[in-house]
A and B are shown apart, each in its own frame.
Chain A
């Protein structure tokens, strides 16, 4: 089983649409969780951290279900500028007492928002 698994897409949606991305992770000892976005041939940029209680940042909502080892990202009212690859990222900081925060990335989900 892949450590972090995402639907690769691509998702093609019109402006204004709502789109949801899903992610599962295999290491139950994982400590923290993030969504990053990556534009073509650029560095990953932190979009938001994901908390068990769920969290929202403007049009973006992230959810974490530790029991199911499942993470989601919802984007409402999609903009053209949201077109990117969305990376589900898991941090094993401190897991087993030896990790210094290795990030494990999913393959990414490609989103294209069209006019």
Chain B
């Protein structure tokens, strides 16, 4: 079964440092997403990406966040200057056209900001 792959599985960083979270979506999918889940809370939408541009973003996705699809396979989330409150599980997801298909999520990157 095709998978969404995320690396690293766990990242520890100091407050104020930049981090890049990496994702390889399913190869024939066209729509890509980042979600996050703070421990004990619900999964929250961050950003959607289609046709090489951001199509929608949430209030959480401020100027400290950016996304990029640098080549035909990778999809990255960059946090420029991390804060303690950025500590969370970050999930990448992709879909070919998800109206009724649902999305496939990667196994996540646990980001810990210290």
- A interface residue numbers (CB < 8 A to B): 31-32, 34, 36, 38, 41-46, 49, 87, 91, 93-94, 98-108
Contacts and interface: CB of A to CB of B under 8 A. Distances in A.
The listed residue with most A CB atoms (<10 A of its CB), out of B41, B45, B50, is B45
Interface in B19-67: 31, 33, 35, 41-45, 48, 50, 55-56, 58
| Chain A, interface SS category | loop
The listed residue with most B CB atoms (<10 A of its CB), out of A31, A44, A101, is A101
B42 A108 contact: yes
Interface of B: 31, 33, 35, 41-45, 48, 50, 55-56, 58, 89, 91, 93, 95, 98-108, 110
Contacts, number: 66
Given A32-B99, A43-B107, A46-B104, 14 more contacts: A32-B98, A41-B89, A42-B108, A43-B91, A46-B103, A49-B100, A87-B42, A91-B99, A100-B48, A100-B55, A101-B99, A101-B103, A107-B41, A108-B42
